[in-house]
Structure 1
Amino acid sequence: MKATSTALAIHGGRPVRDEKRPWPVWPVAAPGASSALDAVLSSASWAITSPYQSELQERRFARMFAAYVGTEHCVPTDHGSSALVITLESLGLRYGDPVLVPALTWVASATAVLRAGLVPVLADVDPATGCLDASAVVAESEVSAVIAVHWACNMADVPAIAAAAAPLGAAVIEDAAQAHGARWQGRPAGSLGAAGCFSMQHSKVLTCGEGGAVVTDDAERAGLLEELRADSRRYRNDPVRGELPLRESANTMGANFCLSEFGAALLCAQLEVLDEQHAIRNRNYELLGRLLADVPGVRLLSRNPSQDKLSLYEVPLIFDPLPHGTTNAWAASALTAELRIRVYPPRPPLSRSRLLAPWLKPTLAPLAERLAARNAGRRFPGAEYLANHAVLLHHSAFLGTEEDMMDLAEAAVKITRYIASGRPA
């Protein structure tokens, strides 16, 4: 790697990346995606509420994804946030019960708790990994459930968190929206807790535009999850051609969070190439780690050795220290200018997120009051450190070549040298 000594691109200097070299685009349609969508278009079954003709794509995807994750059951949903809502509802908790949520995550991890009639209790994350750890659970005297978020490219230590949650009687739910295909001691993300929730939104490594899924080994919970996402109905064991494949089992009151047949068919196609894409991304990530290993002032996120397979979603580059007057927002803008690809800071911790605002909905007023009371006085130094020192790259950047990783490293070196020079941002 040869670092340039020219002025920063953000100050008018020559960028590291030549504009004639585009980055990989996302999403990437799998080879069978078009034919899978065409098959649904001509099938007369566009939703799981269509009159039964033959096996639904939704059922096919559920079977494939359960096998991929290593669980007995998979219940697809329309969004990842819906997956979290129905999983929380399946726990049988009471209105207003507290649920531990890491402070560094997308807001849906907390708003899903509110949508389920529960109260998010925010906890700090380990600044080395970006994830909730068992010590945060041990510090709690009362929580009814824990949402363990696998963040960016790291997995939370779910076995340790579950052990810490057991004396509290709290179930552990994996928010694996960013971790399709990651593994912890050989076990896939999503298979370690009471249930695992996934998002298949546009930016995720497995996507159909908008979609989600819950996986579990608990047959009783799987049945409740089916009802919770299909208006109190679950699948018939013996569907009859021309009739709806759902029966009104009505063991609980549900809503409509069903995945369309188009989304399910697309996911079946995309799942076929997911591991191939993982191999490319992970190989490039390891190369970037080697290139930055001896560069002072910038590093990759630390990873627990028990995580034996990566799933890159967002890749943090952590700049430390950042001199007074220099922010990670500036570093992100500087890298964007050098690389001609969007680099961005993490979202602020949920404790100061504009998006977590239940008081703006009158129907949530009682929960908003409990949210304020339960979280008063809490501090989140680990989440704040990462929010203020990390910048993020989307996983699509890692679908490229070794030369692309050389560019990433060269740009990072250029920024760190500028910061070390003490010149103002």
Structure 2
Amino acid sequence: MTSSKRHISTGRRPPGADTLAVEGGVPVRPPGRAWPAWPVPADDAGRHLDAVLRSGRWAITSPGSGELFERRFSRMFAEYVGVRHCVPVDHGSSALVVALEALGLEYGDVVLVPVLTWVASASAVLRAGLVPVLVDVDPDTGCVSPQTLDLAAGPRAVLAVHWSCAMADIPALREVTAPRGVTVVEDAAQAHGAQWLGRQAGSLARLGCFSMQHSKVLTGGEGGAVVTDDDTLASLAQELRADSRRYTTRADAPQGLELEESATMMGANLCLSEFGAALLCAQLARLDEQHEIRNRNYAALSGLLDAIPGVRLLRHRPEQTRISIYEAPIIFDPLPAGMTNEQVADALTAELHVRFYPPREPLNRSRLLQPWTKPTLGPLAERFRAEHRGRVYPHAEHLASHAVLTHHSTFLGTRQDMADIAEAVAKVVFSRL
């Protein structure tokens, strides 16, 4: 890779190879060389799904005999994360709502949310009857940090999102918030299998929340989970996702029902289907093997990009002892002359025939976060507007305008795939020198 600039400028490549593909040049990667597909069905996936199909029991709310896949996944994922309890739900956003409601906060209480994340992290706060206050992120990791918290806003909770492939420093966040009675909740929707000093993401705070949506590293198409070591919170989470019912403790449950009407807190129906649970049981068995492939390729790409001035991968704290790549941000600092990061992403996509894209806009200017468009959120929406007048987010804005992302499936390939990415990045950078 150290010869990339020379390789581009000496004329030894085919005619048009030095011109960007978006400008009519020859792309770095031949169009016929495929990238890894996503999702990748596990070997047992079809067998598990067929077992549900023929069981006559497609949901936790139906009667039957034998162990539900929902219960099996709950046990397997709790063991994987290293916690006592896992409560599966239908979506990652439902996991956030359930976790926040389980805390017993009051209507209108403030929850701090990083401004650089998917909209569900903030909209779930509103769905729980609370007010999200957006805060800036660490300039290196893209995650909320003790330095970016706004404790003057009087929060009752902090939703700490592990972003793209970096983890928030949950122990440090807990240290500064605990004396104020503020609870940290981990949004680990992008961090299945990531580790902080050997501990799994999701196990570092009182509650951890996961998404198993189609694009996630562990997917059942849709799905989610709340994890915790707290017996009381786990019981409440069960009720909140199953219309005030929790797993029965009776050996002689009537008609084989898995749920009993414990009814200590009113809930809703946010249960994971048996099909989703069966698929997740199969996919979980492959997760760490896929992590090894992705992380090995990520390290290889990082080394290759070292030779390109002004380009790097997202930085991680040294305490993060394992990466879980959801999206891999390549930081261009500075950007190639005359190009936005959206144009850089388009150029890389044309060179490589796999999607590269800029980060989503920070939530303070996202069209997806407009609570005032929903009449039932009236008072919360007004509070939200008032809280955000005059706030600025320089770190998030810098990352949003200087990073280019690609999906984790890109890293399930080979070392040659990483060399192609590095060559395409070099071509874009050197084309503007």
State if a TM-score over 0.5 links the two structures: yes
Q: 2 CA distance for matches of 1:269 and 1:141? A: 44
Which digits, 9 at most, give the CA deviation of each residue in 1:226-269, with x for residues without a partner?
00000000011125373421111100000000000000010000
Residues 101 and 147 of structure 1 are in contact (CA less than 8 Å); yes or no, is this contact kept in structure 2?
yes
Residues 137 and 164 of structure 1 are in contact (CA less than 8 Å); yes or no, is this contact kept in structure 2?
no
| SS of residue paired to 2:309 | coil
Residues 138 and 148 of structure 2 are in contact (CA less than 8 Å); yes or no, is this contact kept in structure 1?
no
Question: Of 369, 388, 397, which aligns to 2:410?
Answer: 397
Q: Percent identity between the aligned chains?
A: 64
1:100 equivalent in alignment to 2:116: no
1:285 equivalent in alignment to 2:285: no
1:26 is aligned with what amino acid? W
Q: Which residue of 1 aligns with 2:99?
A: 87
Residues 53 and 241 of structure 1 are in contact (CA less than 8 Å); yes or no, is this contact kept in structure 2?
no
Q: Relative to structure 2, which stretch is displaced further, 317-326 or 56-65?
A: 317-326
Q: 2 CA distance for matches of 1:243 and 1:49? A: 10
Which digits, 9 at most, give the CA deviation of each residue in 1:252-310, with x for residues without a partner?
00000000000001000000010000000000000001111131021101110000001
1:181 equivalent in alignment to 2:181: no
Q: 1 CA distance for matches of 2:308 and 2:152? A: 39
Structure 1 segment 126-165 matched on structure 2, within 5 A: 126-137=138-149, 139-165=151-177
2:292 is aligned with what amino acid? A
State the Cα distance separating 1:137 from its structure 2 match: 2.4
Structure 1 segment 37-116 matched on structure 2, within 5 A: 37-116=49-128
Number of paired residues? 420
Q: 1 CA distance for matches of 2:347 and 2:44? A: 39
State the Cα distance separating 1:19 from its structure 2 match: 1.1
Q: Which residue of 1 aligns with 2:265?
A: 252
Structure 1 segment 134-283 matched on structure 2, within 5 A: 134-137=146-149, 139-239=151-251, 240=253, 242-283=255-296
State the Cα distance separating 1:141 from its structure 2 match: 4.8
Q: 2 CA distance for matches of 1:380 and 1:172? A: 21
Residues 287 and 402 of structure 1 are in contact (CA less than 8 Å); yes or no, is this contact kept in structure 2?
yes
State the Cα distance separating 1:167 from its structure 2 match: 2.4
| SS of residue paired to 1:42 | helix
Q: 1 CA distance for matches of 2:332 and 2:416? A: 22
Q: 2 CA distance for matches of 1:388 and 1:20? A: 31
Identify unmatched segments of 5+ residues in structure 1: none
Q: Relative to structure 2, which stretch is displaced further, 350-359 or 321-330?
A: 321-330
Q: 2 CA distance for matches of 1:351 and 1:293? A: 33
Residues 135 and 150 of structure 2 are in contact (CA less than 8 Å); yes or no, is this contact kept in structure 1?
no
Which digits, 9 at most, give the CA deviation of each residue in 1:105-126, with x for residues without a partner?
0000000000000000000001
State the Cα distance separating 1:168 from its structure 2 match: 2.1
Which digits, 9 at most, give the CA deviation of each residue in 1:161-191, with x for residues without a partner?
1111112211000000000000001110000
Q: 1 CA distance for matches of 2:59 and 2:126? A: 28
2:168 is aligned with what amino acid? A
Question: Of 314, 317, 329, which aligns to 1:301?
Answer: 314
Q: 1 CA distance for matches of 2:255 and 2:130? A: 40
Q: Which residue of 1 aligns with 2:13?
A: none
Task: Call closer, same or farther: CA 1:215–1:383 in 2, change over 3 Å.
Answer: same
Residues 8 and 414 of structure 1 are in contact (CA less than 8 Å); yes or no, is this contact kept in structure 2?
yes
Q: Which residue of 1 aligns with 2:429?
A: 416
TM-score of the two chains, using structure 1 as the length reference: 0.97
Q: 1 CA distance for matches of 2:380 and 2:48? A: 43
Residues 96 and 119 of structure 1 are in contact (CA less than 8 Å); yes or no, is this contact kept in structure 2?
yes
Q: 2 CA distance for matches of 1:35 and 1:21? A: 31
| SS of residue paired to 1:74 | strand
Q: Which residue of 2 aligns with 1:377?
A: 390
Q: 1 CA distance for matches of 2:36 and 2:256? A: 45
Q: Relative to structure 2, which stretch is displaced further, 4-13 or 396-405?
A: 4-13
TM-score of the two chains, using structure 2 as the length reference: 0.95
Q: Which residue of 2 aligns with 1:330?
A: 343
Identify unmatched segments of 5+ residues in structure 2: 9-17
State the Cα distance separating 1:324 from its structure 2 match: 6.3
| SS of residue paired to 2:372 | helix
Residues 52 and 241 of structure 1 are in contact (CA less than 8 Å); yes or no, is this contact kept in structure 2?
no
